[in-house]
A and B are shown apart, each in its own frame.
Chain A
Amino acid sequence: MKTNNILDVSNLSIYPRHSKTLKLVDDISFNIPKGKVTCIVGESGSGKSLTALSIIQLLSVQLDFDGVIDFEKSRISQLPESKLRDLRGLDIAMIFQDPMTSLNPVFTVGYQVLEAVLAHRKISKSEAKNEVIKAFDDVGIPADRYDSFPDELSGGQRQRIMIAMAIINNPKLLIADEPTTALDVTVQKQILDLINKLQKKFNMSVLFITHDFGVVQEIADQVLVMYKGKIVESGNAKKVINLPNHPYTKALLNCIPSLKSSKKLSPINYKKLDQEMAKL
């Protein structure tokens, strides 16, 4: 295993328990370099979220996976559930798409972040509270919001709380599953800037899932393009965006309305795409 990768995934396949032949993610291998932002891009149904969930083994019980996942030096794909619980939230943290539903409405946001600290570290409550307030400061939430309930905060603020919860134990790997899709453009920009800033500050590795190549351009060092459960193209983000190789990547890039030119939008023609892919 190369030392400059934090995560190595090889031959990962995900399928429903009852039918092994129906591959939702089909034999993919990739790695995430240390201290870099890696983006997975694809449409809904391409398997990008399943890939992320399989890393921390939060797949639905109806699904199962094959393959080897190495995190640093340990083979996490074979860890028992109890060891996984120690890993989740401590070394590998996750931010979900919808900040409206990923916080518990009956607890204050401060308490929910506090819970994340106390679950993993043996420190006193008051020390933990100081940690929470420090994390709030990192994500730009004023300390007096500690006792607020989720419904008293805006979508962007809630996503900041989720980020605070994710980074509070200084994770080595942060998985963000479309963290800005539910947000306004201006708030999206703030959240992307925040993730960028925190990634540099703590030298985290980030796996960022999105369907928007604009976001990829903003944040990614490395990019993986997924289509129908397979990785069709991967490499340096700038290179892939400027010189896409695979017909699907080209098609996906043509779906984004351009600011600079007034080119015609061309929706993906799946029939033509499949023909082109068959030729490869």
Chain B
Amino acid sequence: MSYLTIKNLSKTYKKSSGFLNTKTFNIKALDNISFSVKKGSCMAIVGESGSGKSTLAKIIMKLLHPESGKLTFSGLSISDLEGKKLLPYRRKVQMIFQDPFSSLNPKFTIQQVLAEPLKIHRLGNEYEIDNKVNKFIELVGLKKEDLKKFPHQFSGGQRQRICIARALIMEPEMIVCDEPVSALDVSIQAQILELLKNLQSKLNLTYLFITHDLRVVKYMAKEMIVLQKGKLVEKGTVKEVFSNPKTNYTKSLIDSIPGSI
């Protein structure tokens, strides 16, 4: 049974230009996209910049409103939910961003960073929250002493671990990862990918993994979709798509992978 279903999703950005912004034109960021994700799996969303993959992530996170289309999550329709009714969904679906340098509040200690989502959702008293923060910082391979530090005292890879801990502390069912390793060195990238993969099997998580690096797709995902200029051009298992790409666009993406190690 499918777990997350997306049906006929479209989103258009309006852009205006010219004298007094009199000329307006539309950019179709997403054009009639449909796909579904199985529980406990990892679905890769692939495409170049401008292909609409981050717009898709924002719509799934309910940070953006689509013009049309339906979003269903474990049998519940999410598209029309608003405000407080969204809280349970927001708790179950978390996000990890691309840039670990700008996605942590520089004025918060790591303790505050990790405790904040729990406080917003009123999950437990102070004692319980402290316990949870201690548990999750260790889960991502950092130490309890690190909780007193500020984001600038960490390297890029460590910050990404903190972002992962912040996402996991809500005990989500699904995590949307928006290019979580593309800002990192290859050696750090390997650490973070390993961590994400281990956590997935340990906690039975579902991943939506956005990336433009097909080497990462091959490593992380079983299924993938390819977006080009807002259109879904390819859908299937990673094996199928790699061995038998249907569109020239996917072929060119596969050909662009540097080297053949």
Closest to B190 in A: A255
The proximity string for A residues 85-114 relative to B, scoring 1 for CB distances below 8 Å and 0 otherwise, is: 000000000000000000000000000000
Given contacts A184-B212, A265-B219, A266-B190, contact A259 B185 (CB under 8 A): no
The proximity string for B residues 190-225 relative to A, scoring 1 for CB distances below 8 Å and 0 otherwise, is: 110110000000000000000011111011000000
- CB pair B185 A215 closer than 8 Å: no
Given contacts A257-B193, A257-B219, contact A252 B186 (CB under 8 A): yes
From B48, B190, B218, give the contact of A184 (CB < 8 A).
B48
A184 to B49, CA, bound (A): 7
A140 contacts B by Cβ under 8 Å = no
A8-16, A159-167, A168-176, A187-195 - interface stretch: A187-195
- CB pair B186 A212 closer than 8 Å: yes
B102 contacts A by Cβ under 8 Å = no
- CB pair B259 A216 closer than 8 Å: yes
- CB pair B259 A43 closer than 8 Å: no
B interface SS class = helix
- CB pair A186 B215 closer than 8 Å: no
A65 contacts B by Cβ under 8 Å = no
CB neighbours of B83 from chain A (8 A): none
Interface size on A, residues (CB 8 A): 34
A37 contacts B by Cβ under 8 Å = no
In angstroms, how far is the closest chain B Cβ from the Cβ of A197?
16
With contacts A185-B257, A189-B255 known, what are 15 further pairs, Cβ within 8 A?
Answer: A184-B49, A185-B212, A211-B185, A213-B186, A213-B261, A214-B258, A252-B186, A253-B261, A255-B189, A257-B218, A259-B260, A259-B261, A265-B193, A266-B194, A267-B190
Chosen A-B contacts, 13 in total, with CB atoms closer than 8 Å, are A43-B185, A43-B188, A44-B185, A155-B49, A184-B48, A184-B49, A186-B48, A186-B256, A189-B255, A214-B261, A253-B261, A257-B215, A259-B215
- Residue numbers of B with Cβ under 8 A of A are 48-49, 156, 185-191, 193-194, 212-216, 218-219, 242, 252-253, 255-261
**Those 8 A-B pairs whose CB atoms lie nearest each other, nearest first:** A217-B259, A214-B259, A214-B258, A189-B256, A255-B190, A257-B219, A267-B191, A257-B215
- Residue numbers of A with Cβ under 8 A of B are 43-44, 155, 184-189, 192, 211-218, 241, 251-260, 262, 265-268
